[in-house]
Structure 1
Amino acid sequence: MAPAVPIALGQMRRRPGAFAGLAAALFLALATLTLFGSLLAADVTTAAAVRRTATGPSLTVIAGAFGEIAVLVAFFVVVNALGFALRQQHRELALLRTVAATPRQTRRLVRCQVVATALLVAAPGWGAGAVAARLLLAELRRRGMATAGVRIPGTAVPGLVALAAVLVVGLAASAVAARRISRIAPAAALTASSTEHGRTGVPRLSAGVGALVGGGLLLRLAATRPQEQTDKAGQAALLGAVVLLGALALAGPLAARAVTAALGAPVRALAPGAGWLADANLRGYARRLSSAVVPVALLVGLSGTMLVMTRTAGHATDASAAGAVSATDVWLRQAELTMLTCFAAVSTVNTLIAVTAERRREFALLRLVGATRPQVLRMLTAEAALTTAVGVLLGAAVAGAASAAFSRAATGSWLPSVPVADCCGIAAGAAALTAVAVLATGLRTLRGPAAELAGGDRG
């Protein structure tokens, strides 16, 4: 086999769209780590006497509170995007296996692609993170949470640490993502590139159960915090929501298929033709369904958790003479909500575009057997509606569990205060993102003669 680097770069030049989602995810991760690393560096390099003049939590505490969740979500998005980058070039990797490429060479090629993509977005990620750090520091100064003497140091250390961390996570994710194709026999690799396994492996299910238990323990920890530790309860509840969403990603095919089976009947009744085909497609391709549903659940679960927690904390403050949560805490939660929503929205759009684009040959075959473009688009509309409904329900379940745990700590009641209008807005936003991403990609994918698309490349 030829050296891995030229082949990896050739694949990236040939399929730039397959790596766009991975590049966006790595960019967000680099920018986030650089942002919080810069705040930590600013706090460390500021004299103690200057730091003591500020009110509220220190920059280190703020960076830690923001960063621990944002970084986990960013890495979640990286792993998801990398899986799709590999999935879109599965056929090429399988062909390499049939011409004597070893499993080690295949994994090395994937690692080269991850490193090349990370290096490509390193400079823009550093720049965006540094600018975001200065803007956030300026806002903290305006609110009296940082003094005028605090400055972002002109050092490259936060950016270099961010790049090292992203590379470590990306390489670890590449080892997991390339495991399937690198371990099976060369002849089977080519066959597997056009099929989908119906079963979820025992290791994956075991990891999902472990994540579910871990998320439950974190929510229990949040619920048992005393009222004066509401901030810690909020961080534990939000971290628990992220872990539960990770469990959903691991056991997604089973969960998504079960919920789709319950929701499929109304869709089939409302749209007998397109609805039946959409329901059959989603249930028949459980992994593809899970890949589309999990980002929607991530968007709804994280945004819903933050919104309900913020409203519950506000009501706890109004009811308590001591004031459980300050206006500064509420502002920090709102800022964190904005950041997490951006991450989740990027993941949702990237994933839905990739999932739809890789179905080029499927759509062409439908057209060859008599389906018109409007009929295929109606099927995609029904699929987008089902995907949104499943994602919203699963995300709402996670948000409900996390919010209940936080409410128990903040108010003594398991019933949180729910901003119904805002939560409906989140669901509507998720539906809009899903519909636009799926239908716009579907229109683009349907262009061209069906015969050529059916016999061409999948990508």
Structure 2
Amino acid sequence: MIPLALGQLRRRPAAFAGLAAALFLALATLTLFGSLFAADTTAPAGREAARGPGLTVIAGAFGEIAVLVAFFVVVNALGFALRRQHRELALLRTIAATPRQVRRLVRGQVAVTTLATALPAWAAGAAAGRGMLAELRRRGMAAPGVRVPDTPVPMLVALTVTLAVGLAASAVAARRITRTAPAAALTASSTEHGRTGAPRLLASAAVLAGGGFLLRLAATRPAGQVDKAGQAALLGALVLLVATALAGPFAARVLAAVLGAPIRALAPAAGWLADANLRGYARRLSSAVVPVALLVGLSGTMLIMTSTAEHAAGTAASGITADTDVWLRRTELAMLVCFAAVSTVNTLVAVTAERRRECALLRLTGATRGQLLRMLTAEALLTTAVGLLLGAAVAGAAASAFSTAVSGSPMPYLPVAGCWWIGAGAVALTAPAVVATGFWAVRGPATELAGADGD
């Protein structure tokens, strides 16, 4: 299976670019926090005490969130890489390849991609670890004598964890191609179920209940345990986003139906077609909406939590060390935004690129390139609006739980300017990614592209 995996990577490297970016970011981030942990464990025994939670706590808390978000992003990126080669994998099934062999092929692709990104990711993570440690020393959160040791252990641990995340993601992403009959798998890439299955909705409800439990845990933390309240609220937000992903097709279809009316009124032709496309392909819409919700939900949660902590520190002696805890939260926000931005761009580019044949068929029925680009722009705006609503709902729930723990009030301190910037950032990532890929999707002779498989 390894030669087959390498052949796919050589034949269509662009299909694995998103997966490579997600794995690179996961490897670099885990190397960064592994370096901090190694620096703390190898520091001199009699070192001067430092303010703040300590390097081991920082590395553990950040690394925990990084692994969970990395899994979320890698599953998404790998899913689109498999969709680009769905027909080839289905053909392998029809010539007697077993589901186990297909899963082994997918695992081989993940392993090869991870190893290909390892060296640059290690270099970036090690450099970031040294830079972050220097900043922590400057702020008094690390003792002056602490240094990152010259050992490959953090890099090897990061590689092991990333491979584990990637292989777990491959098991999730390969389910669709391996659980269906070979003949049915050949047509599965061009069809879509109209309804969200009951098992998926039940799983979403169960995960939603788990997220609610974490938010309740965050809200009931005493004021002196702000860090634990913040981690529980952030984990709760991530779990709520997983519930959103499970219920995504249903939620996206409902919200698209509500928000589609203004789009149809502003642009009757392109808006109507965009609205019909989004509601008719709810799973595709959900694939594009969930990363936007991830970006808005995580960054909004961290931003509002940070502002609430700063406000509480300035108005009451609540035990919050503003110049350390707030800086740590901002650093964590930057990390989460990087993961979410990579996932958003990867997904939107992949969703738009795989519609090249669809655009060619529309051109054959009389649509012009300009009309198609206007349709894609309207879809991008509607997708962003749905993602913003879902992400804002998650951020509001998580921030309310954190605010209850910090100040006793469920109303957090809302930084209006920062929230506007998050919304503007989501639009700036979404619309250009879709339109730029759309320019490529509508190029070329329509008669040839209409008979192609989308690659």
TM-score, normalising length: structure 2:
0.98
Partner of residue 274 from structure 1, selected from 234, 250, 270? 270
The residue aligned with 2:252 is 256
Residues 56-455 of structure 1 mapped to structure 2, 5 A cutoff: 56-455=52-451
Query: 1:42–1:151: 8 Å Cα contact kept in structure 2?
Result: yes
Deviation at 1:210, TM superposition (A): 2.1
Deviation at 1:322, TM superposition (A): 4.6
Partner of residue 18 from structure 1, selected from 15, 20, 26? 15
Query: 1:32–1:71: 8 Å Cα contact kept in structure 2?
Result: no
| Deviations 1:246-303, CA, capped at 9 Å, x for gaps | 1111111111111111111111111111111101111111111011000000111111
| Deviations 1:164-195, CA, capped at 9 Å, x for gaps | 11111211211121122112221111111221
Deviation at 1:9, TM superposition (A): 1.2
Q: Distance in 1 between matches of 2:84 and 2:192?
A: 13
The residue aligned with 1:38 is 35
Deviation at 1:111, TM superposition (A): 1.0
| Deviations 1:4-26, CA, capped at 9 Å, x for gaps | 22222111111111100000001
Deviation at 1:47, TM superposition (A): 2.4
Query: 1:223–1:407: 8 Å Cα contact kept in structure 2?
Result: yes
Deviates more, 1:195-204 or 1:103-112: 195-204
Q: Distance in 1 between matches of 2:188 and 2:290?
A: 23
Query: 1:230–1:325: 8 Å Cα contact kept in structure 2?
Result: no
Deviates more, 1:444-453 or 1:379-388: 444-453
1:81 is aligned with what amino acid? Answer: A
Q: Distance in 1 between matches of 2:318 and 2:379?
A: 50
SS across alignment from 1:154 = coil
SS across alignment from 1:48 = coil
Query: Relative to structure 1, is the Cα distance of residues 309 and 322 closer, same or farther in structure 2, using a 3 angstrom cutoff?
Result: closer
1:215 is aligned with what amino acid? Answer: G
Q: Distance in 2 between matches of 1:139 and 1:392?
A: 33
SS across alignment from 1:49 = coil
| Structure 1 unmatched ranges of 5 or more | none
Q: Distance in 2 between matches of 1:42 and 1:246?
A: 34
SS across alignment from 2:289 = helix
| Deviations 1:79-117, CA, capped at 9 Å, x for gaps | 110111101111111111122222121111111111111
Deviation at 1:207, TM superposition (A): 2.8
Deviates more, 1:52-61 or 1:230-239: 52-61
The residue aligned with 1:29 is 26
Query: 1:95–1:190: 8 Å Cα contact kept in structure 2?
Result: yes
SS across alignment from 2:17 = helix
SS across alignment from 2:444 = coil
The alignment yields a C-alpha RMSD, in angstroms, of 1.2
Query: 1:252–1:287: 8 Å Cα contact kept in structure 2?
Result: yes
Deviation at 1:238, TM superposition (A): 0.8
Q: Distance in 2 between matches of 1:70 and 1:104?
A: 30
Deviation at 1:319, TM superposition (A): 1.5
Q: Distance in 1 between matches of 2:318 and 2:230?
A: 18
Deviation at 1:202, TM superposition (A): 4.1
Deviation at 1:413, TM superposition (A): 0.6
Deviation at 1:362, TM superposition (A): 0.3
Query: 2:20–2:114: 8 Å Cα contact kept in structure 1?
Result: yes
Q: Distance in 2 between matches of 1:300 and 1:284?
A: 25
SS across alignment from 1:207 = helix
SS across alignment from 2:46 = helix
Query: 1:253–1:287: 8 Å Cα contact kept in structure 2?
Result: yes
2:218 is aligned with what amino acid? Answer: A
Deviation at 1:323, TM superposition (A): 4.5
Deviation at 1:148, TM superposition (A): 2.3
Q: Distance in 2 between matches of 1:277 and 1:262?
A: 15
SS across alignment from 2:357 = helix
Query: 1:222–1:236: 8 Å Cα contact kept in structure 2?
Result: yes
Deviates more, 1:138-147 or 1:380-389: 138-147
